[in-house]
Amino acid sequence: MTKKILKWVGATLLVLLILLFSAPFLFKGKIQDMVTKTINDNINATVTLDKISLSLFKGFPKAVVGIDRLAIVNKAPFEGDTLFYAENIGLKMSVMELFNGADKPMSIEEITVNNSKVNILVDEQGVANYDIALKLDDEEEDKAGEDKSFSLALKHYQIENLNLIYVDKSSKIEFVLNEFYHRGTGNLASNILDLNTESKTKASFIMDGVKYLNEVNLSLKAMIGMDMTQQIYSFKENEALINQLPLKFDGSIRLLDEGQQYDLTFATPTSDFKNFLGLIPEAYAGNLKGVSTTGDFKVEGKVSGKYTASTIPTLAIHMSSNKASFKYPDLPKSVQNIELNASIVNETGLMKDLYVDLKQLSFKIDQDIFNAKANIKNITENALVDAKLDGVINLANVSKAYPVQLDSPLTGVLKANIQTNFDMNSVEKNQYQNIKNTGTLSLTGFNFETEAMAKPLQIQEAALTFNPNNVSLNKFALKTGTTDLSANGRLDNLYGFLFNKQTLKGNFNLSSNNFVLADLLKEEEASDSSAKSKKVSDTKETESKTNSDALKIPSFLDCVINADAKTVVYDNLTLKNVKGRLIIKDETAKLENMSTDVFGGVLTFSGDVSTKEATPQFDMDLGLKTLDIAQTFTQLEFLKKIAPIAGIINGKINAGIKLNGKLDANTLSPVMSMLSGDLQGSFLQTEINPKNSKLLSALDSQVKFIDLKKLNLNDLKGHLTFNDGKVKVSPFTLKLQDMAVEVSGEHGFDQSLNYALNFKVPAKYLGNDVSNVLATLGAKDVAKYDAIPVKVDLNGNFSAPKISTNMSEVVTNLTQQIVDEQKGKLVEKGKDALMDLLGGNKEDNKENTEEESAVDNKKDKTEETVNKISEGLKGLFGGKKKDEENK
């Protein structure tokens, strides 16, 4: 009998094991079909998922269904937007539910959602992307109810790590929940139940561009009574935290067809002033353990009424504190005499009637007292602001009384006595006559230093006066390192900038005795900038740069700056007497009438620099007045590429340069491969050093009839154009002793060469023997050979030049020309002699014989002359000049 029982138990277990192992294969297709049907029957959207799994082991005796990487993507009018994504969704149900027939839905007892994202969008017309439920008529709804694949009998649900973004463009509201966690336990199948919940998240809220909440830590543990029939949800036992501020709720929320009905009250459970510090994010308030406080802090509020499309509940939220103080245990000073009386109120249920009233805020640190009052009404339509600030704050005492996280302590004294009254419509429309400002604000002895700064910053004095139409900057004196800076001027729309994201308009005068850029940039950043500015940037590399290091002209600036600096030091450049006007607007800096003393002369510049596009652009005109050539073409990198003459030509230059192209996004230095423009200039007081140029040295050694030391470049005018990395030279003529040479061609920024030199060479430079022989031809004949054309081609590059000539052709043509010309003269003379012989006497015959002898001698000399000239021309190239002179 015992053996039969054991066999029966063993067989049963075996069957169960087989069933557990085989169930995922048997029921997976069924589950997948049911999930797909449920989605298609209810949602008008594109739904994708990676896989569906079924396990009887994970939650035995429950069956666990896993849905991985489920995504719901909108169709028109939000086509392509992902509404919902979940890395994993888990459904738990009884194993017996798997055996239900097609006409009976599976009852789900537990749902878990992990690592999900929700993106809710409401457009300007009020259309929401979450409205994706299929529109069914009554008959279809009844049939859908009968054909449900799943039903809910939830006892537990959990959402972990959900990130939700809600953007309502119609009301200009943005709400964000990060790292949202929520769980609930209770018999949700019952119409009346108590649901035990826990929630945590970080909340941010932005309205009309103003960030009212920024990742505020919220948590709530609450037992919520739920009446599903009447849709009433009541708070029972609960504990909430806003950052570290505790609150308790009483009352209920009821769901209505047109919205919700609120009847809530809340208050701090204790009145300790430490509650106020708890309201401040922990990152700023620090650890409150050990903080001693006096006085009280109370928060109490009531929310009552309907929230609908046209109304909000009435509000009465009050915060108050009386004769309070606090002191951190590890800080030397305390904050005393804290008085606070503030309210957020709406008495009508209309959003426009919501107002904030700060009746009093005051505190004392040491002997310094600071007071503030403010009232903001009509917030949603045309906010009316009435505020007053009055008091003194010694900044050095702030970090001694409150745990401000700074690399180094602040110093300085802030004094304020300001009263302002304005409405936002006037700010938006620049109707400054409706803005009433009075008072002054000053900051003295402000010292600040961080690791991000190259040198400590010292604002010796800053003084502002608030006028009805603008804010005057009466004085601003700054010093850092060896740099000093002074400024004055005015701001025309400070409130538009602060409250309405408008551009900051102003007009300023800046002056400095010594301005060193390295004092403002850290040494490694300055050196990196210097290195990058000397590197020829590749076009594709430059256009792809979009990192955070890119330099941008602020888009919020619309101002005029008149600058006057005695000395400006930038990298290795020292500029003197820098003057001019800078107009900044629309991410563009326009330079007008700028000038500086540099390189022994004056450099003027004007034009535009724009960082509006991903790759900055510029268009600039430069004027060079008697600048030293060696310094100019060594220290200005772009000129070094355009005309590599530094060290070769000494002297001065006058020039006008037009430049335009792209700028490196990180250094704002020209991208040479995209630089274009032209240069027109002339040389003054020049000397040439051929030995410092491999090109000129090669030319000087290979072309025998020139001496480059005697080249005169004074008053030489030239015109260069450059584009796509090439510099084209308009033809110009040089005078070398008494010969002329026409220069034309181009070179590249990569130092490649392609030039042609067309010489006109006098015969006397062919050598002494040639000159002596040519002298026998007579002055008239020799003059024909005073401009022998010789062409020299320059190729290769500046460091390895290749020189070629047309000498073979020149020698052949010149030799033939002289021979033909002399032969012609001999024939003419022979004809004359023959005539004399035939028609004369013996005396004449004797003379003719002498003439024939002279003709023979002349012929011999002509042939000798031709040979001399040929050898002389051949000697113009190759060999050594000294050998030729010895010959």
pLDDT tens figures, 774-783:
555 555 666 6
Burial grade of 712 (CB within 10 A; 0-12, 13-18, 19 or more): middle
Residue 735 included in any domain: no
Domain endpoint, select from 467, 482, 502: 502
Nearest to 293 by CA among 246, 241, 338: 338
Structural domain for 139, as ranges? 17-171
Residues 6 or more apart whose CB falls under 8 angstroms from that of 126 comprise 170
Residue 884 included in any domain: no
Number of domains in the chain: 4
Q: Which two tokens stand for residue 205?
A: 């809220």
Q: Which two tokens stand for residue 290?
A: 């050990």
DSSP annotation of 663 reads B
Phi, psi values for residue 846, rounded to 5°: -65, -45
Q: What is the pLDDT of residue 406?
A: 72
Tell me the C-alpha distance between 587 and 663, whole Å: 14
pLDDT higher than 60, residue 873: no
Least confident stretch, 33-42, 285-294, 429-438: 33-42
Tell me the C-alpha distance between 66 and 91, whole Å: 7
Domain endpoint, select from 171, 206, 227: 171
Do residues 790 and 876 make contact, with C-beta atoms less than 8 angstroms apart? yes
* Tens digit of each residue's pLDDT (9 = 90 or more) over 290-326: 889 999 999 999 999 998 888 999 999 999 999 999 9
* Token pair 């005169």: residue: 712
Do 621 and 643 lie in a common domain? yes
- What's the Cα-to-Cα distance from 493 to each of 48, 387, 433, 508, 554, rounded to whole Å? 52, 17, 12, 14, 16
Do 322 and 471 lie in a common domain? no
Q: Which two tokens stand for residue 870?
A: 């040929």
State mean pLDDT over 624-651: 85
Residue 178 included in any domain: no
pLDDT higher than 60, residue 236: yes
Do 259 and 166 lie in a common domain? no
State mean pLDDT over 852-859: 52
Tell me the C-alpha distance between 27 and 30, whole Å: 5
Distance of CA 130 to the CA centre of its chain: 35
Tell me the C-alpha distance between 819 and 871, whole Å: 14
Residue 648's identity, in one-letter code, is: I
Distance of CA 854 to the CA centre of its chain: 91
Do residues 561 and 571 make contact, with C-beta atoms less than 8 angstroms apart? no
Do 537 and 659 lie in a common domain? yes
Q: What is the pLDDT of residue 100?
A: 56
Do 344 and 466 lie in a common domain? no
Q: Which residue has the higher pLDDT, 715 or 382?
A: 382
Q: What is the pLDDT of residue 334?
A: 94
- Residues forming beta bridges with residue 363, ordered by sequence position: 370
Do 384 and 288 lie in a common domain? yes
Do residues 630 and 653 make contact, with C-beta atoms less than 8 angstroms apart? no
- 3-state helix, strand, coil split of the chain in percent (to 5) is 25, 50, 25
Residue 269 included in any domain: yes
Phi-psi region of 295 (alpha: psi -120 to 50; beta: other; left: phi over 0): left
Residue 308's identity, in one-letter code, is: T
* Token pair 């909430």: residue: 240
- Residues forming beta bridges with residue 114, ordered by sequence position: 88, 160
- What's the Cα-to-Cα distance from 320 to each of 271, 293, 295, 439, 681, rounded to whole Å? 10, 15, 11, 28, 76
Q: Which two tokens stand for residue 233?
A: 């949800």
pLDDT higher than 50, residue 804: yes
pTM of the complete model: 0.64
Tell me the C-alpha distance between 424 and 420, whole Å: 13
Phi, psi values for residue 71, rounded to 5°: -130, 135
Do 253 and 341 lie in a common domain? yes
pLDDT higher than 90, residue 621: yes
- Residues forming beta bridges with residue 317, ordered by sequence position: 301, 344
Do residues 204 and 176 make contact, with C-beta atoms less than 8 angstroms apart? yes
- Alpha-carbon torsion 872, 876, 878, 881, what sign? positive
Tell me the C-alpha distance between 651 and 643, whole Å: 15
Do 510 and 363 lie in a common domain? no
DSSP annotation of 131 reads -
At 838, is the secondary structure helix, strand, or coil? helix
Q: What is the pLDDT of residue 346?
A: 94
Q: Which two tokens stand for residue 88?
A: 């994993």
- Apex 812 CA angle, 710 and 861, nearest 5: 90
Residue 592 included in any domain: yes
- Residues forming beta bridges with residue 465, ordered by sequence position: 440, 472
Do 492 and 517 lie in a common domain? no
Do 445 and 551 lie in a common domain? no
Phi-psi region of 217 (alpha: psi -120 to 50; beta: other; left: phi over 0): beta
At 32, is the secondary structure helix, strand, or coil? helix
Do 376 and 422 lie in a common domain? no
Residue 783 included in any domain: no
pLDDT band at residue 868 under the 50/70/90 scheme: low
Tell me the C-alpha distance between 438 and 469, whole Å: 10
Q: Which two tokens stand for residue 370?
A: 């600071």
pLDDT higher than 70, residue 528: no
Q: Rg of the chain's alpha carbons, rounded to an integer? A: 46
DSSP annotation of 344 reads E
Residue 5 included in any domain: no
pLDDT higher than 70, residue 18: no
pLDDT band at residue 549 under the 50/70/90 scheme: low
- Residues forming beta bridges with residue 459, ordered by sequence position: 446, 478
Q: What is the pLDDT of residue 548?
A: 47
pLDDT higher than 50, residue 885: no
Residue 44 included in any domain: yes
Domain endpoint, select from 665, 688, 711: 688
Do 497 and 538 lie in a common domain? no
